[in-house]
Amino acid sequence: MPIYAYKCKECETKFEIFHKTKEDTELIICPNCQSNDYKKIMSAASISTSFKIKLDPPAPCGMPGGCQGGSCGLN
């Protein structure tokens, strides 16, 4: 089932609900204040991959992958 994100217009609480697209939206209530006055907001997509990315070892300053050409000024 898809995840839909909402924001309560009463208390500004953001919450997510798993439901079908055609399911009754009258049943959606804020978990914080129980208001049914909400707006739908954009939620982040979840993406998975089947390959691994190899990162260079951290630079002396601790930045993963090192400094790009020594431009950070910490070395």
Give the span between the Cα atoms of 62 and 11, in whole angstroms.
41
Q: Where are the domains of the chain?
A: 3-41
Going by C-alpha positions, the residue among 48, 46, 45, 40 that lies closest to residue 4 is: 40
Using DSSP's 3-state secondary structure scheme, residue 27 falls into helix
Residues 1-52 have pLDDT tens digits of: 678 899 999 999 999 988 776 667 778 899 999 999 999 998 666 566 666 6
- Give the model's pLDDT for residue 42: 81
DSSP state of 73: S
